[in-house]
Amino acid sequence: METDLKNRQLVQEEPEETLSIQPRKFLLWLFIVSITMMFAAFTSAYLVRKAEGNWLEFDLPRIFWYSTGVLLLSSLSMGLAHRAAKKDNFTLLRTLISITFVLGIVFLVMQVMGWGRLVDMNVFLVGNPAGSFVYVLSLVHGVHIIIGLVVLLVALVAAFRMNIHAKNTNTIETAAGFWHFLDVLWLYLFFFLLYNN
């Protein structure tokens, strides 16, 4: 009888197991969902406006292809950085995050150069909506790349402070997850514009 009573007390004192998610990862997923919805709205508006007519047909400048390649390379370096963190290879981790950061800046510079090529083709922000959409989609994505660069800087500082290691990969996982999302988002936008322009 006494044993049953003690067992019941032990059962009552044990906290129930709860399902939880790391707060940064939750915020990351919330941010990703909201960005996805925003770009889904942009591309839907693009298709609706194109169907109305008065649409300028033009090819995307070749530099957008090259910038896409740069962004894919940055995704590769970020994936390797994540792997280096899991192996406690701190020098390689810092180097790869730095490479990803530089490639992100190169991507932004190439996007601006792409806008210059559009101007050379007489495709402007104001005028025909076909050109306006290309500028707006790439600009809004560029703003998110800038946010991604800030996230990379946070990860780089954490790497230099030795706060990223095999037993604590939350920061690098968050940074890598967001960066890979931005890469996938650009691939979607790039091929959407190629197919629908």
Model pLDDT, residue 24: 81
Model pLDDT, residue 178: 97
Domain 58-196: give its CATH architecture.
Up-down Bundle (1.20)
Q: CA 12 to CA 111: how far, in whole Å?
A: 61
Q: CA 133 to CA 55: how far, in whole Å?
A: 11
Model pLDDT, residue 16: 56
Model pLDDT, residue 21: 73
Residue whose token pair is 């025909």: 128
Buried (b) or exposed (e) across 39-77, using 16+ Cβ within 10 A?
A: beebbeebeeeeeeeebeeeebbebbeebbebbebbbeb
Model pLDDT, residue 2: 58
Phi, psi of 187 (to 5 degrees): -60, -45
Domain ranges in the chain? 58-196
pLDDT, block means (10 residues), the chain with 197 residues:
54 55 86 97 96 92 98 98 97 98 98 97 93 96 97 96 93 96 98 92
